[in-house]
Structure 1
Amino acid sequence: MKVLISTDIEGIAGVFHPEQTRPGNVEYEQARRWMTHEANAAAQGAFEGGASEVWVNDSHGGFRNLLPEAFDSRVRLVLGKPRTLGMMAGLEASPDLVFMVGYHARAQSRGILAHTINSTAFARVKVDGEEAGEAALYGRLAEERGARVALLTGDDVFGAETLPLFEGARFVCVKSAHGYSSGVTQTPAAACEAIRRAAQEVVEGNAHERFGARHEASTRHCELRVQTSALADLFCQWPLLERIDAVTLAFDAPSAEHVVRTLNCLSAMSFMLR
């Protein structure tokens, strides 16, 4: 059994402030170690449960946060950008299960450091009429590629909005949100142990399942609310997009993968206005 672990930083135990997510300071260096340890705990649990192969995808910011020397030697790491599948790079290896470690709630929720892909660009993303965060977007992409989202970790708001989207998935709550940058957290050691144990049990519980059947891709309608009208001006230079109002855009895409790739391209375009 192959497992792909996609790892973000905002949902890691002990992380509450944007400073902890930005390279170039002591708090970030500490947070990236916690991120590394939680990802490695998930990997070790997967191996203990019987996984034959584990890939870990660094899915935060520039995708260069994880510390390779701290991982189980059997792990393969996916680092750096650009990459076609973004936070789900590694699906090319046809994993059976996907774990989302350290993920966060969607934009405009009450989760810790909540956002969707790019907090300075996107205020809200809706796909086929439903609000979607990063886990929903990338989880549908994983399903299209034949992988099952089986384990989620992060804060309680993230769990409440995401767990119902993936039948049979398990959630490990490592902290509770009191607001955008406050709450109550487990210690890093306690979070790692809970994640390791859950990962082991999830892999063991799926040992006799059959995998590999892709979900058929279908046309998706994405409605995107951006943070400023200037961003809407910029994004609508792309003929694919239709402008609904000053800050709302829409486009159709042939699959969840194309929705994700389009949003990531728009996110990259947004840096022109910074």
Structure 2
Amino acid sequence: MKILISADMEGATGVTWPADVLPGTPQWERCRSLFTSDVDAAVLGFLEGGADEVLINEAHWSMRNLLLERLDERAQMITGRHKSLSMVEGVQHGDVDGIAFVGYHTGAGTEGVLAHTYLANSLTGVWLNGARASEGLLNSHVVAEYGVPVVLVTGDDLTCKDAEGYAPEARKVAVKDHVSRYAAVCRTPARTAADIRAAAKEATALAGRYEPVVGGPFTLELEFDATHLSEVATVVPGVAVSGERRVTYTSGTMYEAIRTFKAVTTIVSASVEEQYG
């Protein structure tokens, strides 16, 4: 049995503000250990639950945040950027039996600690077939096309609530409770590691490949905080302005949809000026 861990950082233990997750800052250096602790706890739990292999995919920012040397020696990790499926890279090879979303967070324009969707700012809302979408929701549709269930989600309490909508059977672990976008009531790493480990052990029983879900077409609508960003986004074929500061596109599969989404956000992020956005 093989488990894939998609590891993001905003939903990690103790993380509450931008400097905690921005590579190169002293706070980021400190929080890397907390992030690694969460991921390693999941690794240990899955192995105890009966998994034969655990592969970690780095999914935050530069995708070079986890401390490899502090992970259990039985784990393997994909680190670095420019991957075909970005946050869920590795799910496409037909050998993954379950996926965990560790360190996840809520979506742009919603309540939650460091809430956003792909872009830290600029993107103020994402809707998938009319429903507001988080990264968890988007990625759950991607992995469903490969017949892989989401078995574990960790993050703040609102992230766990969000996950009830796209992975109701998955085990959830809240490592902190939302106070504001930049504040939370945090549990200690010793406690969260124990909670994640126990949940991952239980979650292993939920793993098991199923028939791929073909749920398209998928229509995504994106809202930005400036009109020039919606105009820039239309450089991507198939993307059209749908309203003030909004664009939309439709894809036949979620694989195509998430790759178009990545192209749009990459172009938009390159079009943001330092002071005025």
User: What TM bracket, shorter-length normalisation?
Assistant: over 0.9
Q: Percent of pairs identical after alignment?
A: 30
Q: Which residue of 2 aligns with 1:240?
A: 238
Report if aligned partners of 1:45, 1:198 keep a CA contact under 8 Å in 2: yes
Q: Which residue of 1 aligns with 2:108?
A: 107
Distance in 1 (CA, whole Å) between partners of 2:237 and 2:73 is 46
Deviation (angstroms), 1:127: 0.8
Deviation (angstroms), 1:210: 4.6
Deviation (angstroms), 1:272: 2.6
Distance in 2 (CA, whole Å) between partners of 1:169 and 1:215 is 17
Report if aligned partners of 1:121, 1:267 keep a CA contact under 8 Å in 2: no
The SS at the match of 1:64 is coil
Deviations 1:100-142 (A, max 9, x none): 1110011111100000111333111111111101000001101
The SS at the match of 1:174 is strand
Q: Which residue of 2 aligns with 1:73?
A: 73
Distance in 2 (CA, whole Å) between partners of 1:233 and 1:166 is 34
The SS at the match of 2:19 is helix
The SS at the match of 1:257 is helix
Distance in 1 (CA, whole Å) between partners of 2:153 and 2:38 is 12
The SS at the match of 1:224 is strand
Q: Which residue identity does 2:112 align to in structure 1?
A: G
Q: Which residue of 1 aligns with 2:227?
A: 229
Distance in 2 (CA, whole Å) between partners of 1:80 and 1:168 is 31
Q: Which residue identity does 1:7 align to in structure 2?
A: A
Deviation (angstroms), 1:226: 1.4
Structure 1 stretches lacking a partner, 5+ long: none
Q: What are the residue-to-residue correspondences of 1:137-216 with 2, within 5 Å?
A: 137-203=138-204, 205-206=205-206, 210-216=208-214
Q: Which residue identity does 2:150 align to in structure 1?
A: V
Deviation (angstroms), 1:273: 1.8
Distance in 1 (CA, whole Å) between partners of 2:197 and 2:235 is 46
Answering whether residue 116 of structure 2 is matched by residue 136 of structure 1, we say: no
Q: Which residue identity does 2:225 align to in structure 1?
A: Q
Moved over 3 A (4+): none
Q: For the aligned residues, what is the CA RMSD? A: 1.3
Output the TM-score relative to the length of structure 2: 0.94
Q: Which residue identity does 2:236 align to in structure 1?
A: W
The SS at the match of 1:273 is coil
Distance in 2 (CA, whole Å) between partners of 1:106 and 1:232 is 19
Distance in 2 (CA, whole Å) between partners of 1:174 and 1:145 is 29
Distance in 2 (CA, whole Å) between partners of 1:120 and 1:112 is 13
Q: Which residue identity does 1:211 align to in structure 2?
A: R
Q: What are the residue-to-residue correspondences of 1:16-165 with 2, within 5 Å?
A: 16-93=16-93, 94-165=95-166
Sort the Cα spacing of 1:27 and 1:210 in 2 relative to 1 into closer, same or farther, 3 A. Answer: closer
Deviations 1:234-262 (A, max 9, x none): 11122311111230111001111212111
Report if aligned partners of 2:236, 2:260 keep a CA contact under 8 Å in 1: no
Deviation (angstroms), 1:7: 0.7
Report if aligned partners of 2:149, 2:208 keep a CA contact under 8 Å in 1: no
Report if aligned partners of 1:105, 1:115 keep a CA contact under 8 Å in 2: yes
Report if aligned partners of 1:163, 1:170 keep a CA contact under 8 Å in 2: no
Distance in 1 (CA, whole Å) between partners of 2:187 and 2:208 is 35
Deviations 1:45-70 (A, max 9, x none): 10011001110111100111111111
Q: Which residue identity does 2:31 align to in structure 1?
A: A
Distance in 2 (CA, whole Å) between partners of 1:267 and 1:73 is 35
Structure 2 stretches lacking a partner, 5+ long: 273-277
Output the TM-score relative to the length of structure 1: 0.95
Deviations 1:38-95 (A, max 9, x none): 1011011100110011101111001111111111111110111101101000103431
Q: Which residue identity does 2:154 align to in structure 1?
A: T
Distance in 1 (CA, whole Å) between partners of 2:238 and 2:263 is 12
Moved more, 26-35 or 212-221: 212-221
Q: Which residue of 1 aligns with 2:260?
A: 262
Q: Which residue of 2 aligns with 1:218?
A: 216
The SS at the match of 2:249 is strand
Report if aligned partners of 2:45, 2:198 keep a CA contact under 8 Å in 1: yes
Distance in 1 (CA, whole Å) between partners of 2:32 and 2:248 is 35
Distance in 2 (CA, whole Å) between partners of 1:110 and 1:218 is 28
Report if aligned partners of 2:236, 2:264 keep a CA contact under 8 Å in 1: no
